[in-house]
Amino acid sequence: MPELPDVEIAKRYLDELLGGSTITRAESKDQRVLRPHPPSALARTLAGRTVREVSRRGKWLRVVLDDGSRIFSHLGMTGWWEEREVDQPAERSERARIDVVSPEGRARSARYLDSRRFGRLILSQGDIAEWTALGPDPLADGIDMAALAAAFTRTRRAVKESLMDQSVLAGIGNILATEALWHAKIDPRSPSNALSRSDVAAIVRGLRTAIRRELKTREASEPGHAHDIFSVYGRAGEPCPRDGSTLVRVVIAGRTTAFCKHCQVRKRRAKPRASRSRAASPERLASR
């Protein structure tokens, strides 16, 4: 499933393909991908417009047109944008196409391919709630450690689940969360509000490492065809790359997670003291 690094690559690709060009033809025959709009809406809204900007936030892509209207694209599980010759007929998994002519007069065709059709295309006059509700994007905005620590103190849910909450950080999915927590040496089941400042710092470093590695792999491969080498994701039963212990599998919030019981420490909340001294207890301060 595409996560932040995949969508970042898709953004660069789509920007190179569509940025500054004028749309000559737009088409979708797929009711499910373009819901709630009828397929004909794509042609009506886009034809003749110029693409002003292609941007990304978390796992969402946004194409802004010269009249301010926009098209949002979420790749779902198997979605991808790919260039085809303008006269090339649609292949089976094609759900939409946007043809453009560049300022230099070059005709190009962007096709949205999605075999399983969990992706979305949304036409809108302004930003949609799915976009505005997203938390900071680790690449575009950086990761604010204090804000992340504050989000963790508000909940007892497993730290992995907090990391995958798109309102906490945008674009972190199962892969990046699993990898980052291994880098940080923290058990993914640890309650979010049991983490200390140094734990949060380790997670921020882990996220940066995981994102950088993923992005590098993708930059070195054909778009949409990166061959990943993960440290722990999808490797339960195999040895931990750090210490050789067998990686185990748990399910957290419905998602399979691999981790190492030997080097990833399970953080626990300090036991609350008598209620009067609770707020000032050193354990509680340490976990903030």
106 tagged catalytic: no
CB of 185 to Zn ion, least distance (A): 8
CB of 278 to Zn ion, least distance (A): 35
Supply the DSSP string of the chain, one letter for each residue: ---HHHHHHHHHHHHHHHTT-EEEEEEE--TTTTTTS-THHHHHHHTT-BEEEEEEETTEEEEEETTS-EEEEE-TTTEEEEEE-TTPPP-TTEEEEEEEE-TT--EEEEEEEESS---EEEEESS--HHHHT----TTTT---HHHHHHHHHT--SBHHHHHT-TTTSTT--HHHHHHHHHHHTB-TTSBGGG--HHHHHHHHHHHHHHHHHHHHHHHTS-TT------SSTT-TTSBPTTT-PBPEEEEETTEEEEE-TTTSB---PPPP--HHHHTT-HHHHHT-
Instruction: Return the number of the residue (148 or 203) whose C-beta is nearest Zn ion.
Output: 203
Burial of 201 (0-12, 13-18, 19+ CB in 10 A): middle
Instruction: Return the number of the residue (246 or 277) whose C-beta is nearest Zn ion.
Output: 246
Beta partners for 82?
111
Instruction: Return the number of the residue (8 or 187) whose C-beta is nearest Zn ion.
Output: 187
2 tagged catalytic: yes
Instruction: Return the number of the residue (33 or 260) whose C-beta is nearest Zn ion.
Output: 260
CB of 143 to Zn ion, least distance (A): 24
Instruction: Return the number of the residue (262 or 284) whose C-beta is nearest Zn ion.
Output: 262
If we measure between CA atoms, which residue out of 88, 69, 14, 23 comes closest to residue 49?
23
82 tagged catalytic: no
CB of 263 to Zn ion, least distance (A): 3
CB of 232 to Zn ion, least distance (A): 8
Q: Which of the residues 189, 255, 261, 273 is marked catalytic?
A: 255
Instruction: Return the number of the residue (39 or 241) whose C-beta is nearest Zn ion.
Output: 241
Q: Which of the residues 59, 95, 120, 218 is marked catalytic?
A: 59
Applying CB under 5 A, the residues found at the interface with Zn ion are 240, 242-243, 245, 260, 262-263
3 tagged catalytic: yes
Q: Which of the residues 2, 5, 136, 188 is marked catalytic?
A: 2
CB of 246 to Zn ion, least distance (A): 9
Q: Which residues are catalytic?
A: 2-3, 59, 255
